[in-house]
Structure 1
Amino acid sequence: MSIDPYKALGLTKSATADEIQKAYRKLVRTSHPDLHPDDAGAEARFKAISAAYDLLKDPETRARFDTGEIDATGAERPQRQYYRDFAESTGSPYQQGRGFDAQGDPADIFAEILRQRTRGGSYGSQRDQGGYSVPGHDVKYALEVPFLDAARGGEMHITLPDGSSISVKIPQGARDGQTLRLRGKGGPGYGGGSAGDALIALTVSPHPVFRRENDDILLTLPITIDEAVLGGKVVTPTIDGPVTLSIPKGANSGRILRMRGRGVARAGGKAAGDQLVELRIVAPPSIDDALRDFLNEWRETHAYDPRVDLLNEALS
């Protein structure tokens, strides 16, 4: 039993020619067996929508179907006894030639070539393809990139379903959510058309030490009590390796020191971002007698209360 062509395309009889074309294009990409090899029902669906589009895309055959002169397969209905002169045509009266005119829509060309392949057509034949070549479709991939590789640049590989791999160059300063385009690494072209592109969506992994804000690198640096009071030079990690940072005397927790040019390199040869170092005073894991005695004596001889201003403002 033939399927109603309007139902096959998910449309009603009031559908416009543009709506018929758009529905067909969409269904070609979601039902073609070559694009969905694991879908057992794809081939049957594709044949149904191709037959439906063949009938409805031509205003004349569509009108004949709507008035009941032909059925959903394009065959004449015997009870209507409808005859036409087809002396110069061959095959079914509703089928069009397989070529495309010079103004053919690329989306229709792509769909038609896929349909020909399903019906046993040849991609290499100019007669089948109407002299057209169609570029391959783009293929999307997702790639998780380590934080430092994204900041400094690097190279990774993606393993394809057939076991082969493609190399992906991670640009310096790559961002989370950025998409890279690899020309010619997508689906194959048709009729001699160029291959599509591979679109690589990047996800940057978090780092246990570094954080990123635009092109700046953020870091929380623990310092000891004596380093905070007396100052000194401490080794500090950066995305390019450890460097020496000077801690000013009397530094407090929360103070931010700027290390210029130690952030992420900017595109176009511009100066790199900075590294912002937030200081955090950390008490020793155990308090020995000497430190305890010293602090007790210091407390008795120094009347310093860092909360005075805070309390006054809270009560005002």
Structure 2
Amino acid sequence: MMNPYAILGVSERASADEIRKAYRKLAKELHPDARPGDKAAEERFKQVTQAFKLLSDPEQRARFDRGEVDAQGQERPHFHYRSRPGAGPGQRGPQGRFEDLGDIFSDLFAAQSAGAQRRRPAAEKGADLRTQVTVSLPDAVLGTRKRLNLPGGRALDVTIPAGMTDGQVLRLKGQGHASLSGGPAGALLVEVKIAPHPWFRREGDDIRLDLPVSLKEAVLGGQVRAPTLEGDVEVRIPAGASSGAVLRLKGRGAPKAGGGRGDQLIRLLVDLPSGNPELEEFAESWRLPTGYDPRRRFRE
């Protein structure tokens, strides 16, 4: 058996409280109820239990430190242990020793030791379980359902409420790790990540979209189809629309905290074909109107 200090991950100068805390942590992680069928964890659990059993007894710990007993608490050759005067069978030595191993298990797992009835402490809640789910921007804004695959082969369908923002966390009570002491299960904490969208971007409660339009559509105006989170709609382009002009679709954005929804803001971008002789000929012959200067604002 390895050195009991190394098994518990503490130094040889560790205090009684440090040893107890190290054992509690390892026991919770390795207990067979927490890892059913895991033979390696079961063997490791036995090792940490034996290590704690040795180091939790101040007399045995001192004898181990002096080399009088081995890691199993067995007498080493050439050493003979003489108990202190007045220390009868079952009695312990110095003041301030740990509670015995059974008390630790009673605290951790609310169990009975060797059939003897022990006072059961209040059952502790199981640990929380954390995971992530990635959704599209439309699904985050409008709401959806996602199936999560959790540790242990468990699957769970989770409702993503409408209006979720990137990094927001859903707390699902009772869907976390089971309690080791008979208490309620912990919570499942689901962090929602929103995948970048190729067209839409969210700004507060509004959704923004850049919509390319032809030169003819910008000059003469007309009806064009534009995408929204809920499908394509017809929008009217006003005649003489400049690149950068913004159209507003009321109520097509994200849900607001106080009710209702934001808007979808559509920025028009005039898109010109490259290498078009007719358009180049038109541009050569076109004359600027008197007083027209597209960069006048920079000189005012």
Place the TM-score, normalised by the shorter chain, in its bin: 0.7 to 0.9
* One-letter amino acid of the counterpart of residue 48, structure 1: Q
Q: Secondary structure at the match of 2:102?
A: coil
Q: Please state if 1:130 is matched with 2:120.
A: yes
Post-superposition CA distance 1:157-189 (Å, at most 9, x none): 224566653221101112233322211122223
| 1: CA distance, partners of 2:217 / 2:254 | 28
Partner residue, 1:50: 49
Question: Are residues 1:237 and 2:227 paired?
Answer: yes
1:302 to 259, 269, 287: 287
Q: 1:27 to 1:156 in 2, by over 3 A?
A: same
SS in 2 for 1:221: strand
Structure 1 residues 158-177: aligned runs within 5 Å: 158-160=148-150, 165-177=155-167
CA RMSD of aligned residues (A): 4.0
What does residue range 22-171 of structure 1 map to in structure 2 within 5 Å? 22-28=21-27, 30-32=29-31, 35=34, 41-68=40-67, 70-75=69-74, 79-84=79-84, 85-88=87-90, 96=100, 98-99=102-103, 109-110=107-108, 113=109, 127=117, 130-160=120-150, 165-171=155-161
Q: Deviations over 1:182-202 (max 9, x none)?
A: 111222234431122222232
TM-score, normalization by structure 1: 0.72
Change beyond 3 A, Cα 1:28–1:190:
closer
Distance of 1:37 and 1:179 partners within structure 2: 30
Task: Specify the code of the residue in structure 2 equivalent to 1:302.
Answer: R
CA distance in 2, matches of 1:16, 1:67: 17
* SS at 1:212 equivalent: strand
Q: What residue ranges of structure 1 are gaps of 5+ in the alignment? A: none
Q: CA deviation at 1:214?
A: 3.6
Is 1:76–1:82's contact at 8 Å kept on the other side of the alignment? no
Is residue 10 of structure 1 aligned with residue 38 of structure 2?
Answer: no
TM-score, with structure 2 as normaliser: 0.75
Whether the 8 Å contact between 1:136 and 1:194 is mirrored in structure 2 is yes
Q: Is the 2:107–2:120 contact (alpha carbons within 8 Å) kept by the matching residues of 1?
A: no
Give the gaps of 5 or more residues in structure 2: none
How many residue pairs match? The answer is: 290
Q: Is the 8 A contact 2:244 2:268 kept in 1?
A: yes
CA contact 1:181–1:198 (8 Å) conserved in 2: yes
User: Structure 2: which amino acid aligns with 1:186?
Assistant: G
| In 2: Cα distance, 1:157 partner to 1:80 partner | 64
> Structure 1 CA distance, aligned partners of 2:116 and 2:211?
68
Would the alpha carbon gap of residues 270 and 34 (structure 1) be closer, same or farther in structure 2, given more than 3 Å must change?
Answer: same
| Aligned position for 1:273 | 262
Shift of 1:55: 2.8
**Aligned partners of 1:182 and 1:198 also within 8 Å:** yes
State how far apart, in whole Å, the 2-side matches of 1:39 and 1:72 are. Answer: 24
Q: Which amino acid aligns with 1:300?
A: S
Match in the other structure for 1:20: 19
Query: Given that residues 186 and 197 in structure 1 are in contact (C-alpha distance below 8 angstroms), is that contact kept between their aligned partners in structure 2?
Result: yes
Q: Is 1:249 the counterpart of 2:239 in the alignment?
A: yes
> In 2 relative to 1, CA 192–21 (structure 1 residues): closer, same or farther, beyond 3 Å?
closer
The aligned amino acid for 2:89 is A
